């Protein structure tokens, strides 16, 4: 009798396990009825959310091609309402477990973005390590871009928002978790990288209108204005930005044959957020300085000009020293001391045989130029933070953690009552 009850017990356990394993939430799913969402783009039109989802197509290819994706657009009063329309339109059940990127369009970033992000924080299958980014124009345009790097624009975008990009200062990527922590902190401050599709450099024949398809010269677009009140990205004077992925912007001229021209992504600019709203933009040079102060850099390239000669330095940054002090009850001082080692990575300056034999050594004049330039960029980031009310350096959180006795007095207006002092010190690798 005992053995019979034991058998029944184990049979019940086995049945329960089989049920969980084959259920839609605990194990195998019907791939033909599931929308595997890789990325979500969120735009706003009046009070309506426009949600664009990039869905991986679960079809095997006899040609051995990479997985393809489709874009499904839906609308609703909330993000949850819009996503529910996917099932209505396609019969697919949306799954967010593989979603690794959320893109906030320009108009949506002008409002409290947590009206859009709240749903993802509540979804039990959504990873809080999902990358978040904003863009100029619409998120839909970003996801609809054609990339030479990957068939899925979202995967291509993730490559420029990788951990490596943060460590070399070419971007300041952020996650849903980290952005939320900044939003709910005392400072209500956070940031997102700005994704921008850029046309690949044309060949000399294409520039002169001598392309093989039509022989027509492509018209140049007018100079673009920055989405957050900034100027177009300037070239040079900061860490080199590698081409990593690509896409197509709305309104761009099609390539010969009716196909969209391929573009590459950059994320070298950064949007600062205060209380969930995009309030300021950092250019590539300022983004590099921002990453350095935030202790995100590891080994990076830094371009600087000294006495008319360009140098590219190989920088290894140490953890910055950030100290807060109060002289009286009205003003405070923030001292940022950055110490790093550097060597010459490249230069067009004519060198002697002796100089070349000690190639890693950096002339003192180059160090001085680099220190001056970096100090200027850090100061500019702080000035933009003060003006926009975004506590980009998390000064208030640092005050509460390390100088809690001063926290009540400076909580409301810390940025207005703060004097910044920046020191940058470079040492040669050799």
Q: Which residues contact 301 (CB under 8 A, 6 or more apart)?
A: 168, 239, 240, 312, 313, 314, 315, 345
Residue 362's alpha-carbon distances to 197, 307, 348, 421, in angstroms, are 36, 14, 14, 25
pLDDT at position 172 over 70: yes
Percent share of the chain, pLDDT over 70: 72
pLDDT band at 67 (very low <50, low <70, confident <90, very high): low
Residue 5's alpha-carbon distances to 1, 9, 10, 50, in angstroms, are 6, 6, 9, 57
Say if residues 179 and 132 touch (Cβ distance below 8 Å).
yes
| CATH assignment of 298-430, among 3.30.300.210, 3.10.129.10, 1.10.260.40, 3.40.718.10 | 3.30.300.210
pLDDT band at 168 (very low <50, low <70, confident <90, very high): confident
SS3 384: helix
Say if residues 383 and 392 touch (Cβ distance below 8 Å).
no
pLDDT tens digit string along 37-60? 999 999 999 999 999 999 987 554
Where do the domains of the chain lie?
29-201+233-283, 298-430
CA separation for the pair 360, 339 (Å, rounded): 18
pLDDT-wise least confident of 32-36, 186-190, 324-328, 345-349: 345-349
Strands 263-274 and 189-199: antiparallel
pLDDT at position 417 over 80: yes
Which pLDDT score, from 0 to 100, does residue 344 have?
82
Rounded to 5 degrees, φ, ψ at 4 are -65, -40
CA separation for the pair 118, 197 (Å, rounded): 27
Kindly state the average pLDDT of the residues 236-264: 47
Kindly state the average pLDDT of the residues 6-27: 57
Say if residues 209 and 248 touch (Cβ distance below 8 Å).
no
Angle ∠(233,343,266) on CA atoms, nearest 5: 25
Rounded to 5 degrees, φ, ψ at 55 are -115, 130
Q: Which two tokens stand for residue 139?
A: 């998120």
91 φ/ψ sector (left φ>0, alpha ψ -120 to 50, else beta) = left
CA separation for the pair 349, 305 (Å, rounded): 10
Kindly state the average pLDDT of the residues 387-396: 93
Which pLDDT score, from 0 to 100, does residue 363 have?
82
Cross-strand partners of 222 = none
CA separation for the pair 390, 271 (Å, rounded): 10
Q: What is the DSSP string of 186-198?
A: TT-EEEEEEEEEE
CA 383 to chain centre: 22
Which pLDDT score, from 0 to 100, does residue 167 have?
79
pLDDT band at 11 (very low <50, low <70, confident <90, very high): low
pLDDT tens digit string along 148-164? 888 889 999 999 998 77
Residue 236's alpha-carbon distances to 159, 246, 303, 311, in angstroms, are 22, 21, 7, 11
SS3 143: helix
pLDDT at position 214 over 60: no
Which pLDDT score, from 0 to 100, does residue 150 have?
83
pLDDT at position 234 over 50: no
pLDDT band at 83 (very low <50, low <70, confident <90, very high): very high
Percent share of the chain, pLDDT over 90: 41
Q: Which residues contact 398 (CB under 8 A, 6 or more apart)?
A: 322, 324
Highest mean pLDDT among 80-84, 218-222, 298-302: 80-84
Distance spanning both ends of the chain, measured CA to CA:
82
Q: Cβ-count burial of 191 within 10 angstroms (0-12 exposed, 13-18 middle, 19+ buried)?
A: buried
pTM as predicted? 0.78
Q: Which two tokens stand for residue 214?
A: 């039509």
pLDDT band at 18 (very low <50, low <70, confident <90, very high): low
SS3 170: coil
229 φ/ψ sector (left φ>0, alpha ψ -120 to 50, else beta) = left
Which pLDDT score, from 0 to 100, does residue 412 have?
87
pLDDT at position 86 over 90: no
Q: What is the mean pLDDT of the chain?
A: 79
95 or 181: which carries more pLDDT confidence? 181
Q: Three-class SS string for 388-417?
A: HCCCCCCHHHHHHHHCHHHHHHHCCCCCCC
328 or 203: which carries more pLDDT confidence? 328
Which pLDDT score, from 0 to 100, does residue 215 have?
40
386 or 231: which carries more pLDDT confidence? 386
pLDDT at position 84 over 50: yes
10 or 412: which carries more pLDDT confidence? 412
Which pLDDT score, from 0 to 100, does residue 256 have?
45
Closest by CA to 271, choosing from 53, 43, 113, 47, is 113
pLDDT tens digit string along 367-381? 899 999 999 999 999
pLDDT-wise least confident of 227-236, 275-284, 326-335: 227-236
């Amino acid at each position: 009798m005992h053995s019979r009850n034991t058998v029944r017990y184990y049979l019940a356990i086995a049945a329960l396990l089989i049920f969980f394993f084959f259920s839609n939430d605990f194990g195998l799913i019907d791939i033909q009825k599931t929308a595997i969402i890789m990325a979500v783009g969120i735009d706003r039109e009046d009070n309506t959310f426009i949600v664009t989802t990039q869905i991986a197509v679960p079809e095997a290819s006899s040609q051995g091609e990479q997985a393809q994706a489709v874009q499904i657009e839906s609308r609703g009063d909330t993000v949850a309402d819009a996503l529910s329309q996917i099932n209505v339109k396609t019969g697919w059940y949306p799954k967010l477990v593989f979603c690794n990127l959320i893109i906030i369009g320009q108009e949506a970033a002008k409002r409290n973005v947590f009206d859009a992000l709240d749903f993802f924080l509540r979804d039990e299958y959504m990873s809080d390590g999902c990358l978040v980014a904003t863009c100029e124009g619409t998120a839909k345009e970003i996801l609809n871009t054609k990339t030479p790097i990957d068939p899925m624009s979202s995967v291509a975008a993730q490559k420029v928002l990788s951990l490596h990009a943060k460590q070399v200062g070419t971007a300041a990527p952020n996650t849903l978790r980290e952005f939320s922590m900044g939003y709910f902190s005392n400072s209500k401050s956070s940031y997102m990288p700005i994704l921008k599709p850029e046309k690949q450099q044309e060949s000399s024949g294409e520039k002169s209108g001598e392309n093989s398809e039509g022989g027509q010269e492509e018209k140049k677009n007018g100079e673009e204005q920055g989405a957050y009140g900034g100027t177009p990205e300037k070239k040079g004077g900061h860490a080199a930005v590698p081409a990593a992925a690509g896409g197509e912007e709305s309104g761009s001229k099609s390539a010969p044959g009716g196909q969209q021209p391929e573009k590459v992504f950059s994320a070298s600019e950064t949007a600062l957020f205060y209380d969930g709203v995009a309030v300021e933009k950092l250019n590539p040079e300022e983004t590099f300085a921002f990453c350095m102060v935030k202790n995100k850099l590891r080994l990076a390239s830094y371009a600087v000009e000294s006495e008319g000669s360009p140098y590219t330095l190989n920088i290894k940054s140490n953890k910055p020293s950030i100290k807060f002090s109060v002289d009286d009850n009205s003003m405070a001082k923030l001292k940022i001391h950055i110490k790093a080692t550097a060597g010459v990575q490249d230069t067009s300056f004519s060198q002697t045989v002796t100089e070349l034999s000690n190639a890693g050594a950096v002339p003192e004049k180059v160090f001085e130029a680099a220190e001056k330039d970096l100090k200027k960029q850090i100061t500019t980031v702080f000035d933009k933070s003060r003006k926009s009310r975004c506590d980009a350096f998390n000064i208030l959180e640092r005050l509460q953690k390390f100088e809690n006795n001063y926290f009540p007095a400076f909580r409301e207006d810390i940025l207005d009552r703060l004097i910044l002092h920046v020191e940058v010190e470079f040492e040669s690798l050799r």
